[in-house]
Amino acid sequence: MATIKDIADRLGIAVSTVSKGLNGANDISEDLRQLVLDTAVEMGYTTKKMRKVEHRKLCVFIENMDYDTNEQFGYDVILGFKQAAIQEKWDVDVVSITPELQIAERYSTYMLKNGYTGAFLIGIALGDEWMEQIATTTIPTVLFDNHVPKNLNVGYVGTDNYEGIDLAIDYLSDLGHTKIALLNGSDGSLVSEQRLDAYMESMHNHGLPVDENLTAFGFYVADCAKYYVPDFLDRGATAILCSSDLIAQGAIAECQKRGLLVPEDISVIGFDDLPVAARMTPPLTTIRQDRCELGKSAYHTLSCLVRHVSISKTLMRAQLIRRNSTGICTR
Amino acid sequence: MATIKDIADRLGIAVSTVSKGLNGANDISEDLRQLVLDTAVEMGYTTKKMRKVEHRKLCVFIENMDYDTNEQFGYDVILGFKQAAIQEKWDVDVVSITPELQIAERYSTYMLKNGYTGAFLIGIALGDEWMEQIATTTIPTVLFDNHVPKNLNVGYVGTDNYEGIDLAIDYLSDLGHTKIALLNGSDGSLVSEQRLDAYMESMHNHGLPVDENLTAFGFYVADCAKYYVPDFLDRGATAILCSSDLIAQGAIAECQKRGLLVPEDISVIGFDDLPVAARMTPPLTTIRQDRCELGKSAYHTLSCLVRHVSISKTLMRAQLIRRNSTGICTR
């Protein structure tokens, strides 16, 4: 477990200031106090006061997603959730789940056995056992990027994919691109479906031709680019919009392998704005999802459901972050 | 201004208990304390502590909507907003606006002059002067039932109209109705458009015929029913889904005027679940919008925008409240 000194070192402030922040002293600013608390949560430090939770426990279940370091999508989502939850004196466990676990034990049984009041599920697949159970669950449950109809106990938190995709196509269209390809994530996920819909709608609204051969479902890994990018290039695409930064990284590599320069010959846009996006060569233009705020909003939505306030959806704005992987269309 | 005794009388509890609630004493339950505070806010009572706001001011602007008594839609929306805001030490003003006021003074000027940090706008028309200014405003702003694209400072709060309409058609379809009419609210509002879309989609998904002659845009007043209901009946409608409880009240009166029994001859469903719905003859089946929670969610969304957390949309679940204005289709 981190010590007060670890927190002080990380923030570059005195140990006594950290102590003031943790103990609610009046002579430090509210912003600094919050920063100290947030950092303490991130580093796994807890005060006695924080630990006094009186059996108030929430669970974050995560599947199909990495969250060990802040380079990975899940890290900040979970961090934001915990930061918000701990402020309201909830204890939060994070549990990795597998299809096997879901078959071995029902969702409600697992929740009750472990004394969880509610849960936040990240990365769960549509076909998973628990998804069917969650459709009718009475346990307050928030799904990241997944929606369950007509259940007052279940909420959905995500980024507005329609606006995100539209921002990207707007920008590419301004740069003169008309042959814009979409290299999507996995088929059969709500988010991939929304992004394809959004692409079709936005291309149409911009008066751009829709060529279905310029869209493909891939996977959320860089490696998938090699299966689709060569064909997009052969068909004359001058820009590739990718459903994640990692896919975009693979797409750039694939273009470069064929001797094409990014952005001179082809523009590439990612999705997420993971830390790696800014470090790529060239630095990646991407659609940002604010993962920490997504986590905080998920906590807020869950806390409403716990109080029988039935929020169905909380959607965050997407933002286009313009870097150097996009340029004027020269063809 | 209400006194402590007024609050005690309203809640049927002792003056000393109210006093404990207002002063944060430990020996009453958290639920009771909250009820006392909420009632104090509703009745206009404020403690010294509440009044110590240090210039933290929010504004609720309302147009085209009544809010003077709890029989009216706006009342609970504003109440919920205030209850949530006052807990976090914001002062809240409620200002009725007109198109003239909006022409006389720009939105940003009005906000700055009066020292408001953010605003919640209810019932503002799409064509109003301020709507255009809000599209690019830098002031944290939440719109009820209205959406502005791509502005990080503006959020949208409303009820999930798609799910609400689908719940109603689901129920009518189960009762054997196939000729279901939609008497919508005013044309050109986002909510009316969503409800028409939702109706088309849900009828289609239920395998029911869509007859455009069985849909009409009216107005949000009971009186509008007389212009459309006779035609719906002539065309064989066996159920009428209305975009507000007041429209439904007018629709029932129109049916009864023609000697038809509700629900024996024709089923009618409202929208909102205002207090009057349960008192109608017959008591009205309706799609509930939880107005108090909508107000609270609007405050939460606004407080996020103030902290630069860009929530785009917060949608609440709709609920179908089954009463006696709907029955099995006999034709």
**CATH number of the CATH domain containing B239:** 3.40.50.2300
- Closest partner residue to A163 (CB to CB) among B149, B167, B317 is B149
Do A154 and A129 belong to one domain? yes
Sheet holding B180-184: strands in order across?
A: B215-217, B180-184, B239-242, B267-272, B285-288, B319-321
Do B118 and B73 belong to one domain? yes
Do A107 and A178 belong to one domain? no
Does the residue B7 lie in any domain? Answer: no
Does the residue B326 lie in any domain? Answer: no
* pLDDT score at A250: 97
Residue A113 sits in which domain range? 52-158+293-316
B51 pLDDT more than 80? no
From chain B, pick out residues whose CB is under 8 angstroms from the CB of A296: 309
* Lowest-confidence region among A150-159, B35-44, B124-133, B226-235: B35-44
Does the residue A328 lie in any domain? Answer: no
Best of B310, B319, B320, B321 to mutate (most A CBs within 10 Å, chain A):
B310
Do A255 and A312 belong to one domain? no
Shortest CA gap A260–chain B (Å): 33
Shortest CA gap A166–chain B (Å): 9
Shortest CA gap A314–chain B (Å): 5
Spatial distance between the Cα atoms of B295 and B301, rounded to a whole number of angstroms: 10
Does the residue B19 lie in any domain? Answer: no
Do B300 and B239 belong to one domain? no
The single residue listed with the structure tokens 């917060």 is: B314
Do B241 and B304 belong to one domain? no
Do A152 and A167 belong to one domain? no
Do B95 and B174 belong to one domain? no
pTM: 0.83
ipTM, two decimals, is 0.81
> Which residues lie below 8 Å from residue A114, measured CB to CB, with a gap of 6+?
A57, A59, A93
Contact of B24 with B33, CB cutoff 8 Å: yes
Does the residue A326 lie in any domain? Answer: no
**How far apart, in Å, are the Cα atoms of B124 and each of B60, B98, B121?**
11, 9, 7
Chain segment A267-323, per-residue pLDDT in tens = 999 999 999 999 999 999 999 999 999 999 999 999 999 988 999 999 999 999 999
From chain B, pick out residues whose CB is under 8 angstroms from the CB of A320: none
* pLDDT score at A37: 79
Shortest CA gap B158–chain A (Å): 10
Chain segment B116-155, per-residue pLDDT in tens = 999 999 998 888 999 999 999 999 999 999 999 999 999 9
Q: Return the HEC string of chain B.
A: CCCHHHHHHHHCCCHHHHHHHHHCCCCCCHHHHHHHHHHHHHCCCCCHHHHCCCCCEEEEEECCCCCCCCCCHHHHHHHHHHHHHHHCCCEEEEEECCHHHHHHCCHHHHHHHCCCCEEEEECCCCCCHHHHHHCCCCCCEEEECCCCCCCCCEEEEEECHHHHHHHHHHHHHHCCCCCEEEEECCCCCHHHHHHHHHHHHHHHHCCCCCCHHHEEECCCCHHHHHHHHHHHHHCCCCEEEECCHHHHHHHHHHHHHCCCCCCCCCEEEEEECCHHHHHCCCCCEEEECCHHHHHHHHHHHHHHHHCCCCEEEEEECCEEECCCCCCCCCC
User: Which residues in A have their CB inside 8 Å of a CB on B?
Assistant: 149-150, 152, 160, 163, 166-167, 290, 293, 296-297, 300, 304, 309-317, 319
Do A133 and A208 belong to one domain? no
Chain segment A146-201, per-residue pLDDT in tens = 999 999 999 999 999 999 999 999 999 999 999 999 999 998 889 999 999 999 99
CB contact under 8 A, B311 and A319: no
Residue A43: name the closest of A93, A96, A6, A89 by CA.
A6
* pLDDT score at B33: 82
From chain B, pick out residues whose CB is under 8 angstroms from the CB of A309: 290, 293, 296-297, 316
Spatial distance between the Cα atoms of A228 and A239, rounded to a whole number of angstroms: 13
Between helix B161-174 and helix B190-205 the angle, nearest 10°, is 40
**Which amino acid is residue B93, in one-letter code?**
D
* pLDDT score at B53: 46
CB contact under 8 A, B160 and A304: no
Does the residue A114 lie in any domain? Answer: yes
Does the residue A151 lie in any domain? Answer: yes
A131 pLDDT more than 90? yes
In B, minimum Cα distance to A161 occurs at B312
A262 pLDDT more than 50? yes
Q: How many domains does chain B have?
A: 2
Do A217 and A302 belong to one domain? no
* pLDDT score at A53: 46
Burial A206-217 (b: 16+ CB within 10 A, else e): bebeeeeebbbb
Does the residue B14 lie in any domain? Answer: no
Do B165 and B267 belong to one domain? yes
* pLDDT score at B49: 54
Do A180 and A232 belong to one domain? yes
For range B99-126, the mean pLDDT: 90
- Alpha carbon of residue A172 to chain centroid: 23
- Closest partner residue to A152 (CB to CB) among B300, B314, B317 is B317
